[in-house]
Chains A and B, each alone.
Chain A
């Protein structure tokens, strides 16, 4: 009985989200059309409650609530769940504003969104490969539906089908890896595997293959090259709020698992996969950034840019130190705000001019200066220029690699420094395509003279994102401290 209560307490944020989703679904059945308009506000309330529970109830009680079967609970997971809840909340705001979307079965859409958020929170807390697999499938299936939500849109259908097929393929490979791991180690618990992996008598080659297969599944979720091809199509085809959501939230959840797998269960130096991971990181950032250059659609551009960002973030995993893990946490917070902020601006523009083509952003600064300035701020942050959150994230992650290099007798013999050099060069490339938008908005004359108005709620969304982007950029101390202490409590790279 006590165990059950403890489990419920530990899962209270997830439960809050799930209950909200069920309530929304039920309310959708009984409410009239005018009542349904308030459903998003209900969602926001539920998410706020979950955030409060997560941050103020679970966080202080982490040590006592931490011992749960199949679950892992620590400040580290609380941090990621905060990020996911904020991302879901901002997505609800975007949904409310997106023209042509908010009218279609709002209850279904919103409950799906909340279910997937709950799934991501479970994924973050998974201490067992079975839980990892189940949560990932749960998130995956909901995401396919969300991408294909506008049924009669051909592009949405195309994106959803590609997403589904590649997702199913990746899951199959991942499950195979998991079964190999179980066969090798006799356990599916991540914590337990960390204890067993160093012992003698394991076949290192087979272990490597198993971890590799497992990372395929995670690589798919994170859109690491070469498992990235679904992301641009899904983001272009899906409704803009969904595109914003799947470019941020599943990645945050996937990163939480990735850090624990490569930090706790299979430390990179023990399984000797740093080289392979470096190649993946290099390929991901270079490919993402280069492919973003020729894009003409803002959503596709942001999709490829998000592939590039995952490449940078992987450096923090490869560096295999606390600074890197903490840096990833800060990067995730920064990424949630700057990417969703950028998408909020995209929604504001597409509502008015009905287009997401970059060329149609011409003269936006004269049609709506605040939106143009805000979008420039988010783009600057995505490009990693100070004084924005994106810069702090990049600075920490790159710094972690340099710290790792410093600890070696010959810094140039390791991939660290080369990765950092590749990453900073990639940042220069990224400024080029981000500023193609700035170029259109500020340097080109507008095609139509009409203004582009935003609405109150949208200002709330962009305002929160912009304030957070700037605050984290100028006064990063609270976030850095929180991230560092969240990481310190893990058993990363310790044993």
Chain B
């Protein structure tokens, strides 16, 4: 959900940005990071932890922790909380330890 009205801040919603989460079409706005767009669309679980398979979501939102790592356009371990959202991005949930290609 987005904050529509705020007593102190003014949020100018930028233009719509289309992107994909595990193949599904999603909408974010210019100015969003990948994680903020996902959270606003009700996606709270971004990954599963690599050994215990525990669900993880945004935790620090400033690029310090590892809870928001996802696969972005084929590149694993991208910090989605600090990566600006771009048109057509393909985001995938990262569910296991990334194994290098043979």
Query: Does B bind A?
Result: no
Q: Which residues of A contact B (CB under 8 A)?
A: none
User: Which residues does B use to contact A, with CB under 8 Å?
Assistant: none
